[in-house]
Structure 1
Amino acid sequence: MNEYIEWGALGQVVGAGLVVGAGIPALFALALRLLAGTTAPPQERHDASTGPAEVPGPVVIARPPLWRLVGALLCFAVVIGAVASGIVFLAAGGHS
């Protein structure tokens, strides 16, 4: 222990900051990515004079598979639990 710096407490603050400040948003982004579907490849139309061309039309977004939906829900549940526990912690006075 240094005279001015408590290294153990500094490590705890840095660790908590990484988990809360980077881990929770990364988990939220992972959940959003799991929910995002994939776009279908554009259909091609063959014209004898010009060759293949893309057919204009709506973008089709496929529904993600069940395992991705379950993973996204689990990620969202962890994020909501972390936010709720932080609110409860602060409402209780900020100490255990």
Structure 2
Amino acid sequence: MNVIEWGALGQVLVAGLIVGAGIPALFALGLRLLAGTTSADAPTTQSTPARGDANDASSRVVAIPRPSPARLAGAIACMGVVVGAIAFGLVFLVSGGH
């Protein structure tokens, strides 16, 4: 007598990994691609002001370059897959979820 249906358990495991880990990983990858990189020649901060100075926030300059077109396309693709998965899940649940 086989109590555990191994085929069904495997399907649930694969679906859980795809939805539970794959979609958030794609979202994180999309954000990472969208963030861009810092270049070695661009200064990240201009100066370090003394504590208590009223002009602390205005004296700092942060340079974050735009991501390259390839990184931007990758980020858009990742976010598109995530949005598509969310839309598919909502449509699936609204239609009865069967």
Task: Please classify the TM superposition score into its range, dividing by the shorter chain length.
Answer: 0.7 to 0.9
Name the counterpart of 2:61.
58
TM-score (norm 1): 0.80
Q: Secondary structure at the match of 1:22?
A: helix
Greater C-alpha radius of gyration? 1
TM-score by length of 2: 0.78
Give the number of aligned pairs.
Answer: 84
Q: Deviations over 1:12-55 (max 9, x none)?
A: 00000000000000000000000002234438xxxxxxxxxx84
CA distance in structure 2 between the aligned counterparts of 1:31 and 1:74, rounded to whole angstroms:
8
User: Over aligned residue pairs, what C-alpha RMSD do you find?
Assistant: 1.8
Aligned to 1:23: 22
Partner of 2:87: 84
Higher relative contact order (CA 8 A, sep 6+): 2
Identical counterparts, % of pairs: 63
Structure with the larger strand share: 1
Judging changes above 3 Å, is the alpha-carbon distance between structure 1 residues 91 and 4 closer, same or farther for their aligned structure 2 residues? same
